[in-house]
Structure 1
Amino acid sequence: MPTPDPSTASDAEPSIAARIASAMPSLTPIHRRMGEYVLANPFRAATMRIDELAQAVDASIATANRFAKALGFDGYPAMRAALVRGFEATLAPVERLRSAQEQEAGVRDAAWIDAVFNQAVENIEDTRAQLNAANIEAAVEAIVAARRVLILGAGSSAFLAGLMEHGLSVCHDNVQSLALLGGPSHAARRLYTADARDLVIAIAFPRYVDDTIELARRAAARGARVLALTDGPHSPLAPLTPLTLFVTAQRRFAATSEAAVLAMIEALIDAVALRTHRSAKAAAEMTEFLLPWLTQPQAALPATDPSSTGSRKP
């Protein structure tokens, strides 16, 4: 996925790159080295505290602050804020984690875990509140009716795609996760033969991966139906298909929480199973086939009194 260009951050002020290029002839050697580092590593520089940037170029904190002023900023915080503006969505979880480490260091682990569970519950409740019955029914019908169900996902969504394939395979004859196996070019080969009889399920959440968006776009262009599982109408998947299910997936210290997404996937799997008349028989047959690999709990036996053994007369 290409790195965003921080030079597009704001039309109202010169970009960091433009400021450095303009100031470069008059900068001191150490400031030039600092400028070259920022130009070569804009994303990394945006995540650095002043001491980290100074250390990266073997300079002092005071030198880093003077460098920011030489570029026309009031100081390093203002320069870093300008750097960050090109990467807000990407850096937001990093900034929240950094802030929590600095400001909430005394909070115990149990409190953090509690907060994560609360966030997951809120995501699921918010997702359920915004569910549209017609959209759900259309999504289930599309899965049931499809000749093939091809699932796209990248990053953590690749694992969600695998879980969706795992669940749907019991009640649909042809479900394939195109995540991981062979990369996007392999997925493109599979999608080349897709048409209106097939359903492509595209899973994409922040941080969105271009591969998923492009593959879904190409599948739609070939006539395949596309079902998007994503976080809202602002998602790059949303314009590609009218068949979308939105899932709230906020997480404080990461870009996405998968809990509500997985709940949506499980709900779709169960709904498809209920719609598929042979699913109960297929599930029973699959379970029987898998029995040699499953650990069976021993049946509970009634307790016996050792002293009574053999005391009864025939």
Structure 2
Amino acid sequence: MATLPGNPSIAQRIAHAALSPSHRQIADYVLDHPLRVAAMPIDELASVTGVSIATANRFARALGFEGYAQFRAALVLGFESALAPVEKLRSRLDQSAGVADVFAAVLADMAGNIERTRQGLDRQECARAVEAILGASRVFIVGFGSSSWLGGLLLRNLELYCENVQLLTSIEGSSYAARALHRLRPDDLVIAIAFPRYFSDTVLLASRAHEAGIGLLALTDSANSPIASMSSIALYANADSQYYANSEASALAMIEALSSAVAHASERSVKAAEQLTEAVLPWLHGSHSGRLRPVAEGPASKERDETAVSRKKLASKEPE
């Protein structure tokens, strides 16, 4: 093998290696699908590239590794957070468990996440978060990927108590959010939501708000999150999951807790609740909502009225 720079990448190793036709076949697949290969055990790579397991092992040694395990470990570097759900899922599937066991285990994990989130609450940060939301002229919510759904729930709750709340997630993507954040004012607040796997767009837009000196409230999983260090206020929700990149349950619980605290502190919470109830009452199921709807005129309604009158007359008659 030719001389390589210190800590060479897999691509550099492949470029400098003398590879046989079968090894080149594997190399082409690795270069085209590095993330996929990083999650593959040796038998899967051998099968997909049409070579033997022994050939796959010799390919790894041709690149300067002791074996396939060392090759795969090097390939994984840089993909740790992206591959974490794959590795966790592979590990769980290797263990025998019934369907009900999975239900119970996941629900137990959710409960544990929420309890750890509760125990880790910083009372001062909670108070500052509520004060910042109610004191802001405008609140902008930023979150992409699964965090966009979390942002939608936060918007739904906060718009009852804040005059101007905007969710900067649209079909246009991050460019819409970038244009909106360009108009930020000092009395605005940006709420950035990011959980593993962190979307780079969320991190970039949060950094823009931070650089502009705008208040930034981070809803994330830990102080190691890329948006935590740039935030002026941070609320953390444990989000460990056995099957996915993160669990949404504790994040949803944190959002509901934050919204409830805002409602408790808001001077217009009762009025807002009354207005909301009045607005949605005609759409609620039950007899109480039916009375609010106008009675349709026409033959059908006339027939119903006549039937009701007849039943009333029959009920009032004395038995013979």
Q: Could you tell which deviates more after superposition, 206-215 or 174-183? A: 174-183
> Is the aligned partner of 1:138 residue 2:128?
yes
Aligned residues of 1:195 and 1:223 also touching (Cα < 8 A): no
SS at match of 1:250: coil
Structure 1 residues 73 and 297, CA gap change in structure 2 (3 angstroms): farther
Q: Deviations over 1:221-246 (max 9, x none)?
A: 33321101111111110121231111
Q: Secondary structure at the match of 1:238?
A: coil
Count of residues in Structure 1 that have an aligned counterpart in Structure 2? 290
Q: How does 1:64-213 map to 2 (within 5 A)?
A: 64-102=56-94, 104=95, 106-213=96-203
Contact 1:144 1:172 in 2 (8 A): yes
What SS is found at the alignment partner of 2:217? strand
Contact persistence 1:148–1:175 (CA under 8 A): yes
Instruction: Map 1:232-271; keep pairs closer than 5 Å.
Output: 232-271=222-261
The SS at the match of 1:239 is coil
Specify the SS of the correspondent of 2:79. Answer: helix
How far apart are 1:294 and its partner, in Å?
Answer: 2.1
Offset of residue 53 of structure 1? 1.6
How far residue 55 of structure 1 moved from its aligned partner, in angstroms, is: 2.9
Q: Deviations over 1:121-154 (max 9, x none)?
A: 1111111111111110000000001111110101
What one-letter code is carried by the residue in structure 2 that aligns with 1:284? E
- Amino acid aligned to 1:30: S
Matches within 5 A, 1:289-300: 289-296=279-286
Structure whose alpha-carbon radius of gyration is higher: 2
Give, in angstroms, the shift of residue 297 of structure 1: 6.3
* Alignment equivalent of 2:266, drawn from 262, 266, 276: 276
Q: Which residue of 1 aligns with 2:10?
A: 16
C-alpha contact 1:154 1:180 (8 A) present in aligned 2: no
Q: 1:201, CA displacement in angstroms?
A: 0.3
Segment of structure 1 superposing worse, 144-153 or 246-255? 246-255
Q: Residue 4 of structure 1 corresponds to which residue in structure 2?
A: none
Stretches of structure 2 that go unaligned for 5 or more consecutive residues are 290-314
CA distance in 1 between partners of 2:317 and 2:60 (Å): 94
Task: Give the root-mean-square deviation of aligned CA atoms.
Answer: 2.1
Task: Quote how far apart the aligned CAs of 1:181 are.
Answer: 4.3
Letter in 2 for 1:86: G
Give the superposition deviation at 1:13.
4.7
Q: Is the 8 A contact 2:215 2:232 kept in 1?
A: no
The aligned residue for residue 219 of structure 1 is 209
Q: Distance in 1 between matches of 2:54 and 2:265?
A: 68
Q: What TM-score do you get using the length of structure 1 for normalisation?
A: 0.86
